[in-house]
Amino acid sequence: MENFVFEYPTKVYFGKGAVKSYLSSELKKYGETVMLAYGGGSVKRNGVHSEVLSVLGECGKKVVEFSGIMPNPTYAKVQEGAALAREYNVGLILAVGGGSVIDCCKIVALQANFSGDVWEEEIEKHSFPAAAPIPLGAIVTVSGTGSEMNGGGVITNEDKKIKTGLFAAAPRFSILDPEYTMSVPFPQVMSGTFDTLSHAMETYFGYPNEDNVSDDIGEAVMRSVIRNMRVLLKDRNNYTARSNLMWDSAMAENGVLKIGKKTDFEVHMMEHQLGAYTDCNHGMGLAVLHPVYYRHIVREGLPKFVRFAKNVWEIPAEGKTDVQLALAGIDALAAFIKECGLPSHLTELKMKDSPEKLLTDRALEEIAYSTTILPGSYKRMTGSEIYEIFKECM
Ligand code: NZQ
Ligand code: ZN
């Protein structure tokens, strides 16, 4: 294990009926005005909005609604939320949704109490805003990102054409009721769960390669995700599978798997930059990119890819060289992606600035060369290799 410091800031309430059982006890800790934040309206259609609103009413809270948070939330939306939070002097932001709503609210919570500009401070000045964020609580309605148990928020700055993570505020509490995910359209369920698998893989494929407990837990999480995605393929509303996947989501991105590890996350950087220019869905973009990227780095990361093939996909080693075994593991991942109905090509992505236009090769090159290159990959990427990977995905 590498040296590490670990601390946990979020209290989690998990299970059926958790909002009714626990939300009021949390609400008592915060000021009288609550900002109820949500996305494009799914929470109104599935009854979650009225369930949450009734608990807020019973607790005598004044409610300010902040709605319309879009998938891949924009920095402009963050500023809208921050202005609202300031105007009504809210004591708690309650984010009800998936990664997009929770991420947006994390940055709203910090921006509302910071006199400067959070993006400028973090991304341009490489500093952390000197302000205490408004307390944040999350109620998860679609799982996969793990945003409910970490302090990062992924935001698209449309002016600068960058989608990236900002650090702000981990939720003080998160409520995870697997039944809330039952109304999520099935392709989005698969997309979210693949995001979870991706987080576990991005963490696993990183040094150290020698024995460490984080990789053992990572393998257990990956096997659980694969097994439970297969259950959902046969039985979409299986509660046991939904609940396992919901906790896998939190486990894969709450920092536990990263303890004592260097992580990769280059596939995330590629997908995020695609999302800055196009309407790329996060989990689906990751599904296309992973096998192609892994074939580019397999030789540099050979021992871990061999372990992945054996321990995650249970591929027998007999009669295979290490390279053959490692490639068989990547093939198994690619086959699983197809089995789940997830895409294998980046086709039909539409440009954000002109939604009637499909992604062009010229834009793809610009996206490749503006992708952040992280130091944790087994093989150091370059803009030209990322461009090659993108082209192989088309
Ligand atoms: O907007 P509404 O109407 O609510 O619809 C949403 C949205 O269209 C819908 N949905 C959510 N709950 C539902 C539901 N539909 C029916 N029933 C329900 N119960 O699902 C759609 C997708 O929601 P979204 O929040 O965008 O999905 P996800 O949770 O996958 O979040 C994706 C965002 O999170 C970022 C991604 O980059 C992306 O911007 N990530 C955040 C991370 C983090 N903070 O740790 C890590 C991830 O790697 C990721 O980058
Ligand atoms: Zn992700």
Q: How far is the C-alpha of 216 from the C-alpha of 329, rounded, in Å?
A: 17
- How many CB atoms sit inside 10 A of residue 61's CB? 21
What pLDDT digit, counting tens, does each position of 73-122 carry?
999 999 999 999 999 999 999 999 999 999 999 999 999 999 999 999 99
User: Is residue 290 within 8 Å of residue 201, measured between CB atoms?
Assistant: yes
- In this prediction, residue 70 carries a pLDDT of 96
Q: Tell me the H-state helices in the chain.
A: 18-27, 42-45, 48-58, 75-87, 99-111, 118-119, 186-204, 213-234, 239-253, 266-277, 282-297, 302-311, 322-339, 361-369, 383-393
Distance separating alpha carbons of residues 362 and 349, to the nearest angstrom: 14
Residues with C-beta less than 6 Å from any ligand 1 atom = 39-43, 46, 71-72, 97-101, 103, 141-142, 144-147, 150, 152-154, 180-181, 183-184, 188, 192, 195, 253, 268, 282-283
**Considering only CA atoms, which residue is closest to atom 28 of ligand 1?**
99
* Mean pLDDT of the residues in the chain: 96
Q: Whole-model pTM?
A: 0.97
Say how many Å lie between the CA of residue 260 and the centre of ligand 1: 29
- What pLDDT was estimated at residue 270? 98
Q: 10 Å Cβ neighbour count for 302?
A: 16
**Position 347 confidence tier, pLDDT thresholds 50, 70, 90:** confident
Local structure of residue 280 (DSSP, 8 states) = -
Kindly report which listed range (4-13, 66-75, 78-87, 133-142) carries the lowest average pLDDT score.
4-13
Q: What is the mean pLDDT of residues 360-369?
A: 95
Position 357 scores a pLDDT of 87
pLDDT above 90 for 3 = no
Residue 68's pLDDT band, with cuts at 50, 70 and 90, is: very high
pLDDT in tens, 220-266: 999 999 999 999 999 999 999 999 999 999 999 999 999 999 999 99
